[in-house]
């Protein structure tokens, strides 16, 4: 069954926390991965690969560049699992 936006956000926040130590409650939809959360490209890729596994979706390299905010990633995952 497809997960809701809130569920994906919570799961993604956990992955961000695992990789970077950033508190899960800081990972909000409007936050930019690079500007607000200071996540570098390598950590971003680690989060992406872990998200693929956790949510059973494919996130191609070319798509990763478009995921500027947490909201972008959550929307992508929600629609990809549908």
Partner 1 sequence: MTRPQLRQSTGVPFTRILGMGAARGDLVVPNSEIIEPINSSDEWIQQRTGVITRHRASADVLAIDLATEAAMEAVANAGIEPSQVDLVIIATISNVQQTPSMATVVADRIGANPAAAYDFNAACAGYAYAVAQADALIRAGAAHYAVVVGAEKLSDIIDPTDRSISFLLGDGAGAAVIGPSEYPGIAATVWGSDGANADKVGMNATLIEYRDGKAPWPTLRQEGPSVFRWAVWEMAKVAREALEVAGITADDLAAFIPHQANMRIVDEFAKQLKLPESVIIARDIATTGNTSAASIPLAAHRLLQENPQLSGGYALQIGFGAGLAFGAQVVVLP
Binding site for partner 1 (CB under 8 A): 40-42, 44-46, 48-49, 61, 64
Minimal distance, residue 42 CB to partner 1, in Å: 5
**Tokens standing for 40?**
């570098």
Closest to partner 1 by CB, 1 or 42: 42
Minimal distance, residue 77 CB to partner 1, in Å: 17
d(CA 36, CA 55): 24
Tell me if 82 sits within 8 A of 2, measured CB to CB.
Answer: yes
d(CA 76, CA 62): 13
d(CA 27, CA 35): 13
Closest to partner 1 by CB, 25 or 61: 61
Minimal distance, residue 43 CB to partner 1, in Å: 8
């Amino acid at each position: 069954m497809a997960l809701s936006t809130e569920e994906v956000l919570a799961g993604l926040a956990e992955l961000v926390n695992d990789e970077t130590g950033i508190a899960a409650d800081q990972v909000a939809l409007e936050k930019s991965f690079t500007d607000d959360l200071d996540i570098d490209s390598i950590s971003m890729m680690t989060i992406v690969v872990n998200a693929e596994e956790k949510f059973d979706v494919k996130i191609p390299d070319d798509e990763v560049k478009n995921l500027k905010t947490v909201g972008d990633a959550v929307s992508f995952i929600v629609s990809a699992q549908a």
